[in-house]
Amino acid sequence: MAWDTEATKGRILDAATAEFVAHGLHGTTIERIARRASVNKERIYNYFGGKPALFAEVLRSKVAEGVGSVAFTGAAVEEVADFAERLVAFNRSRPDLIRLLAWEALAYTDEVPDESARVEMYRRRTEALAAAQDDGALTNAFAPEMLHVLLLSLAGYGALLPHVVRMVTGLSPDDEHYRAAVVEAARRLATP
């Protein structure tokens, strides 16, 4: 056991992620992060520079991971349905990332950390959708970036406001029926 800076940084980042996901920027304390990472507070200031900076770093490293890990490929309506299905499944498997996205939206009113990289990821998916539209396999009723954000809306809402889904439908957003409805809705939006 010795001098492993990177591992320590990683432990801090993981602990910070867990705490920020659960309690947001103001709700978490540096001390709890330090305890969870089995590290001294001072390390956190030394490595990351303070709570807001650490929060931004968590967003930078984790949220992009979420956006990047569900791609759209293909050109037919069924592939849009599949895309929606994978989005919902991803949101279900990583509820922490959606919560981070929500904390982020509430914390930053104008620009978010590392915005240009995020824009680039979204742009790539939009292009794939646009190509499918050009093939005539998808509707042209929506501009590709609009279709993109509408699909994100359908797939993300349940993860963002699970309690609203529960109050409206009586079901958990994890429920099979809810998932199926989202997929069917995506199919309808994409059909020419």
Partner DNA sequence: CATGATTGCAACGCAGTCGTTGGAAATGGG
Partner DNA sequence: CCCATTTCCAACGACTGCGTTGCAATCATG
Q: Are 114 and 59 in contact (CB under 8 A)?
A: yes
Of the two residues 50 and 136, which places its CB atom closer to DNA in the complex?
50
Residue 18 CB, shortest distance to DNA, in Å, is 15
Q: How many other C-beta atoms can be found within 10 angstroms of the C-beta atom of residue 37? A: 21
Distance set, CA 34 to CA 39, 51, 97, 114, 142 (Å): 5, 12, 21, 25, 48
Positions that interact with DNA (CB under 7 A): 1-5, 8, 28-31, 39-43, 45-46, 50-51
Q: Are 151 and 189 in contact (CB under 8 A)?
A: yes
Q: Are 121 and 67 in contact (CB under 8 A)?
A: yes
Token pair recorded at residue 70: 């569900």
From the list 5-13, 49-57, 68-76, 167-175, the region that binds a copy of itself by CB under 8 A is: 167-175
User: Among residues 37, 75, 84, 101, which is the contact residue for a copy of itself, using CB under 8 A?
Assistant: 101
Of the two residues 6 and 110, which places its CB atom closer to a copy of itself in the complex?
110
Token pair recorded at residue 32: 């709890």
- Binding residues vs a copy of itself (CB under 8 A): 23-27, 99, 101-106, 108, 112, 115, 118-119, 122, 126, 141-143, 145-146, 148-150, 152-154, 156-158, 160-165, 167-170, 177-178, 181-182, 184-185, 188-189
